[in-house]
Structure 1
Amino acid sequence: MKIVYSDKHAVHDPQTFFVRGVKQRSAEQPERAIRLLAAAQGAGHEVIAAKVHGMGPAAAVHTPDYLDFLQIAALEWVKLANASAEVVPNVHPARYPATYPKALAGRAGWHQVDLACPIGPGTWEAALAASEVATTAADLVLGGAREAYALCRPPGHHAYADMAGGFCFLNNTAVAAQRLRGRHPRVAILDVDVHHGNGTQGIFYERPDVLTVSIHADPAHYYPYYWGHAHEVGAGAGQGFNLNLPLPVGSGDEPWLAAGEAALTRIGQFAPEALVIALGLDASESDPLQGLKVTGAGFHSMARKIATLGLPTVLVQEGGYLSDDLGRNLVQFLSGFDAGR
């Protein structure tokens, strides 16, 4: 399998993350991508560089105001009096109707939903490169490859059209799906990250041409809390084209794979021409975030099941944090996918 990669991810090294009010270094570290790349290379997969695409693919799923903010945020933030090294907002517009502000601090609160998406001097460059990784992988599939793996960092599936969150800035999964839509009338997204792909859901929520399916730890008790519940099925023209399959926190292989069967049944009914997998490896039993308890064998089995759909597929790296099993779980998933073909 071709692995698309950019070393520009390393210029984004977030230092700010709050857990129950305690500041610590982010779990979303450059070493994640380095370990994943080494594992893929060690398993014999071919690594190719991402091509330059600029902002076009990201602009297809994100708003102009948001893209402008991401580009200027870090540069303008450091000009403020007593500013921190990273853009971290202290005010948000909450749930009520609000007016878009001019002040940078207000724009930060508008576009950054939580304290897990600080913007540093290299964030925009890395996020744009990640979107180009996803675009390059989609183009490989559009060019005839059966599958391609986009080793994206930072991840993307929590990013809405106009909002960052949960380590995510540009929605790489949505970028890949929209790129595939340029040729295919129907595209499906299957998100197997431990966290619900709320940004992806939001981007396509009112569209019938992209089916979004997510298997994740129950948001009643786990991030992102406010989205990812089973009653969220789409709206308007997109009603019935969003499926959430939340699992009790701590669930292992058996319920996870059963949810996978339900997901594949719905995808089969939708009859897409292409598929995007939002590949979160943080469902692992050894992941530091401890939301689910999936084994390496579970990742292999899930991938094998997905591959039986026989669809042109882009695999987009989402979560999966530092543990001894991180690279091994990627190899298990990729080998399972190859076996299912």
Structure 2
Amino acid sequence: MLAIALAVVITVLVMQPASEEGGDGGADPTARNSDSEFASANDTGPADIITDDLTCAAWSRIGNEYADRLETISWSDRDREVSADIWSPAQKSQYEAAGEAMSAAAEAATKLAKQTPHRVMRELYEQFIAYSGSFVDNIPSYRPEHNRAIVVSDAFGLALNNVCASIQYAAAPQVAPLVDSPQAPSTATSSMDGEDFMFLKQRIPVCTDWAAAINSISDDTAAWQRIDAEISASDWTAEQRAVIDAVGPVMSENADSLEAMGRSSDNPLFEDFAITAAQYRRGYVKALPTYSPRDSFLAQTATYLVKAVNSACDAA
């Protein structure tokens, strides 16, 4: 399902022309270090809603090709519970082809990680690369638990898709000025600089609270989830509007909780992802009074960042 969603969102990005309502980039990072190969080297400011990024067009092409290659081998239909030692020749060939597609996408994303001026975008690319690479490395000795790494990679890929979609459709530029910027990060992060690493190699205590928060907001927003995201605010029924009015405070409280957990994690990347998810969730709440379908990309960005972190906790 994640692979299908990846293909759908990327196809939308490729086919839809850029909106002319998009502004000039709004939340610019701090000054860049021309001596570094990473354009985001000096972006040490708060993790925030990203209103423009020069790597999005390239990412859509990479992701589109990646999704096409996985679809060609029916990757989403594979039996994840079969270990490598009992694969049929067809299963072995399928995993090897998937590994080649993942390696190609990761190699291309490495270039984007260096080019993006935004620290968080760089980190998203890096984690897509790292978890994809972990899965590929384990293909020869694959066991079912190794599948957890590709679940994390998919979630980071989908987070990237929705960050770019929220820029492409001008949802991010329009809402970002309405959301207060968070405080600066507790600890500055450094780039991968060529070293593949997963940001959670061991499960940390905050993972338990993170999972509980996911369960809580899933229950508290059940009625909201049943409302078609393609319906604009002007077309909501009275019942739907009542649900939307009630869900805003719930999401705002959850955003505060996400940020607090991130800052208590003692993990700079966990913190960046948590605060970024919180900001996009706050942005979605700000958009609700005049909601249009494009604002759903804000909610989806937050959702996939939260899922990526939770899946990384499970993988660890």
Query: By percentage of residues, which structure has more strand?
Result: 1
The higher relative CO (CA closer than 8 Å, separation ≥ 6) is in: 2
TM-score normalised by L of structure 1: 0.34
Query: By percentage of residues, which structure has more helix?
Result: 2
TM-score normalised by L of structure 2: 0.36
